[in-house]
Amino acid sequence: MELNSINDIAAFVAAVRAGSYTRAAVTLGLTRSAVGKSIVRLETRLGVRLLNRTTRSLSLTDEGRIMYERCRQILEDLEEVDSTMALRRVVPTGRLKLTASQSFGQRHILPLVGEYLRQWPELQADVSFSDRYVDIVEEGFDIAIRIGDERDDSRLLSRTIGWQQVVTCASPEYLQRKGIPQRPEDLFNHDNLFLAGVMRRRDWKFKTPEGIYSFDCPGRLNIDSAEAMRESALAGFGVINMPTYLTAEDIKTGRLVPVLGPLIWSRSLSVCSTRASSTSRRAFAGLLICW
């Protein structure tokens, strides 16, 4: 559709709404003559009469009534598109405060923060990586990236953006010493390592052909750092149940060996944010969703 056609449609809709060419001209910032010419041009192009004109009033013909309803919707849709794109053109400003787990944050979120700051020079970011649970409302954060946390908090908006597989594994030396568990129940006879402060419950979940199996494991060592727990497993301290972003490379090189292989569980990867909106938060959330 040519630009002139859009302008002619706008003149037609404005004339119907205003009830006269004169008032439509004021609304559009045009002359009365220009409005009249636009409508004549539109009628000529369509080959139908749209308006009944008298010196005192305008009224729609049957064809004009159909045309008006369609054109009104077209113009409203165009206005909505224009508003949406205008919002996208707003340059985000301010300071973003975000938190994520130590290992996942350093490996995956920090590069995104760098991209975020490169895209929008007017933004600043405060980043905290911690393996403890962070109450972002109480501690003044805008966004938290969480893995496997299922807390229902009405103060927050939460969106799942992906899944992380969780694998049970141990070092070859440990398995040679203690044996390879064949069933979840065998973990009762093993040294199981837990991430303190995050997995407050001692249950590891396994996906079996019968459904999800939750097993309450005994634990011998609690560590408040995921990286330290991984290092402990590499050193032969015991069995870990951790996301593949931490263990995949070690498994690939043989430094860790997966056990209970088919029984793999996935944890959600979620973006949690406060309900207060800001351009800085929306900009980073957009990066995460497109990640």
Side chain identity at residue 55, one-letter code: T
- Residue 242 to residue 230: CA distance in whole angstroms: 8
Predicted confidence at residue 284, as pLDDT, reads 81
Structure confidence at residue 199 as a pLDDT band (50, 70, 90): very low
User: What's the number of domains the chain is made of?
Assistant: 3
pLDDT score at 158: 80
Structure confidence at residue 122 as a pLDDT band (50, 70, 90)? confident
Residue 11 has pLDDT above 90, yes or no: yes
Q: Are 213 and 262 within one domain? A: yes
What pLDDT, on the 0 to 100 scale, is given for residue 184? Answer: 86
The half-sphere exposure of 207 on its side-chain side, counting CA atoms within 13 A, is 9
Nearest alpha-carbon partner for 270 in 130, 86, 146, 98: 146
Tell the residue number behind the tokens 């799942």, with chain if given.
160
The mean pLDDT of the chain is 85
What pLDDT score was predicted for residue 266? Answer: 79
Cα 271 to chain centroid, rounded = 7
Last residue of some domain: 89, 107, 134? 89
Given a cut of 60, is residue 1 above it in pLDDT?
Answer: no
Is residue 73's pLDDT more than 50? yes
**Which residue range is the domain that position 114 belongs to?**
94-155+271-290
Taking the model in full, what pTM does it have?
0.58
Rounded Cα distance between 165 and 245, Å, is 8
Cβ atoms of residues 25 and 35 within 8 Å: yes
Per residue in 126-144, pLDDT tens?
999 988 888 988 999 999 9
Residues 98 and 84 in one domain: no
Query: What three-state secondary structure class fits 115?
Result: helix
Indicate whether 276 and 249 sit together in one domain.
no
Q: Report the C-alpha dihedral over residues 18, 21, 23, 27, rounded to 10 degrees.
A: 90
